[in-house]
Structure 1
Amino acid sequence: MTAPPDDVLWARGLHYTYDGSPALQGVSFGVREGEIVAVTGARGSGKTTLLRCLSGQELPERGEVWFNSAPVHTLGRAARERLRLRRFGWIDSSPRLVPELTVWENAALPLLLQGTGYRTARKTACAWLARLDVGDCARKRPAVLRQAERQRVAVARALAHSPDVLFADEPTAPLHRTDRAQVLRALSAAARSHGITVVLATHDFAPTPAARTADETGAALADRIVTLTDGRRSRAPAPEVEPAPTGPEGAAACSLSV
């Protein structure tokens, strides 16, 4: 079986058990190139497990995962690690920065691990840090930064090597509302400007267009919403999110954060 040609990432019939309890129960999922998809649901609904299976961090017990028509579910550990390093980006619910490294070294880490030259890696990392409004922190250590600043550094690290797909597992969960909205806008604008596909797990959900306009949650900034309930796709169709504005108005909105 091959993946649908329009989907850069595709999964079929995923099953996964965690500590004896079913975390995924037959989930099928697809995302097109450049699309931002929000995976919503209550805590424990299977969002993190789905992202880990899609990104190759975990292998499903049953089911298939395809990336650009390549079967991720049949790859060995080393091949999946190379795939994650070169083609995928990951943002966790906490920054998980290396405390001994400076901010720019943390942001440049994926590039350095790929063998990119020191000067090029530093220039690229600093450019992303500047886009995410933490460029003045480049020489500092993570310990002296605010939580929101550390999370912006984690976003820069995930974007620095221009991944094909960025996975974000509740990336703003520990942040205050204002910082959460700023980080989400920055992430969304950066991904759209570089054509990066994003799969975003979030428990935030704005049910109506008016609510989405008033409260920029992760779901509000997505092109499409997929809802999980107890490890299954919700039967009720998730409301489509209005597309991001284009033209001068859209550009002005993006310039607020990036």
Structure 2
Amino acid sequence: MVAPPDNDVLWARSLHYSYSGSPALTGVSLGVREGEILAVNGPRGCGKTTLLRCLSGQLVPHEGEVWFNSAPVHTMGPLLRERLRRERFGWIGPEPQLVPELALWENAALPLLLRGASRRAARTSATEWLERLDIGGESARKRPHEVPQAQRQRVSLARALVTMPAVLFADEPTAPLHRTDSAHVLRTLTTAARSHGLTVLLATHDAEVAGLADRAVSLLDGRRVGTGLSTEPEGRTACSLSA
């Protein structure tokens, strides 16, 4: 077993995954460079979400390898993968999934609070991100049910960015939004990624959204398609992520 090249923060080889015998991924390989915004493009049902969930450690591929900074994610146990997701990864999906009992700023600050940050420090960081997304002042003290879906989704983005993750997984983050709100979320996401050197995997069925990325790969029926597919890079000696 070999690890990926030094400049790939994420690297996957020959991923296979099935749901109840129905293939969702069939032999997908890719590398993601540090600080890169990579779009995973394709129609709904092509395997984009499954790919991101395998890369982020939410799913273990039935076959194939996933590496993060030379650590084999595919061989990690559940606790180590959970720690990796909590400490190094961020996630935003098409639905906000906020905690209804918490104020918007508390939802955005939640990852920091769970890490043990003080309430004041967590609130300051969360408020800064919310203000970048035009959610400040009185709005930040509201509960999720008191604001429109577009604002809830912006809170989700703030929550994903507040820890400055090494990798941000964005699974159709603007799918439920109108054009103006979608542009706002994408502008904040890409600006934050480039200014802070974040690596972003952006799953989308929208070619226009994919065009905002540094590079795009396409999936169709669980397979990587299109031209310019590179051969798998030679790896180097593996090293593990210790518990």
TM-score of the two chains, using structure 1 as the length reference:
0.86
Output the CA distance in 1 between the equivalents of 2:209 and 2:118: 35
What is the aligned counterpart of 2:210 among 190, 195, 219?
219
Equivalent residue, structure 2, for 1:242:
none
Alpha-carbon RMSD: 1.1
Tell me the percent identity: 68
Give the drift of 1:220. Answer: 1.8
Task: Name the SS for the 2:122 alignment partner.
Answer: helix
Give the drift of 1:169. Answer: 0.4
Q: After alignment, is 50-59 or 120-129 more displaced?
A: 120-129
Output the CA distance in 2 between the equivalents of 1:6 and 1:15: 24
Give the drift of 1:115. Answer: 1.0
Equivalent residue, structure 2, for 1:87:
88
Equivalent residue, structure 1, for 2:235:
none
Residue 165 (structure 1) aligned with residue 183 (structure 2):
no
Q: Which runs of 5+ in 1 are unaligned?
A: 206-216, 239-258
The letter of the residue matching 1:73 is H
Give the drift of 1:138. Answer: 1.3
Output the CA distance in 2 between the equivalents of 1:190 and 1:146: 23
User: Which structure 2 residues correspond to residues 90-169 of structure 1 after superposition, within 5 A?
Assistant: 90-136=91-137, 137-169=139-171
Task: Name the SS for the 1:138 alignment partner.
Answer: helix
Equivalent residue, structure 1, for 2:219:
228
Q: Deviations over 1:18-73 (max 9, x none)?
A: 13210000000111111000000011110000000000000000000000110000
Give the drift of 1:148. Answer: 1.1
Give the drift of 1:235. Answer: 3.4
Equivalent residue, structure 1, for 2:200:
198
Give the drift of 1:218. Answer: 2.1
Q: Which runs of 5+ in 2 are unaligned?
A: 230-243
Output the CA distance in 2 between the equivalents of 1:121 and 1:177: 31
Q: After alignment, is 110-119 or 150-159 more displaced?
A: 110-119
Give the drift of 1:237. Answer: 4.0
Task: Name the SS for the 2:177 alignment partner.
Answer: coil
Output the CA distance in 1 between the equivalents of 2:26 and 2:105: 41
Output the CA distance in 2 between the equivalents of 1:149 and 1:224: 28
The letter of the residue matching 1:229 is L
Equivalent residue, structure 2, for 1:26:
27
Output the CA distance in 1 between the equivalents of 2:21 and 2:136: 45
Equivalent residue, structure 2, for 1:174:
176
Give the drift of 1:236. Answer: 2.9
Output the CA distance in 1 between the equivalents of 2:72 and 2:131: 36
Output the CA distance in 2 between the equivalents of 1:54 and 1:143: 32
Number of matched pairs? 227
Q: Deviations over 1:185-218 (max 9, x none)?
A: 111111111111000000001xxxxxxxxxxx32
Give the drift of 1:2. Answer: 1.1
TM-score of the two chains, using structure 2 as the length reference:
0.91
Task: Name the SS for the 2:165 alignment partner.
Answer: coil
Output the CA distance in 2 between the equivalents of 1:133 and 1:8: 32
Output the CA distance in 1 between the equivalents of 2:177 and 2:223: 28
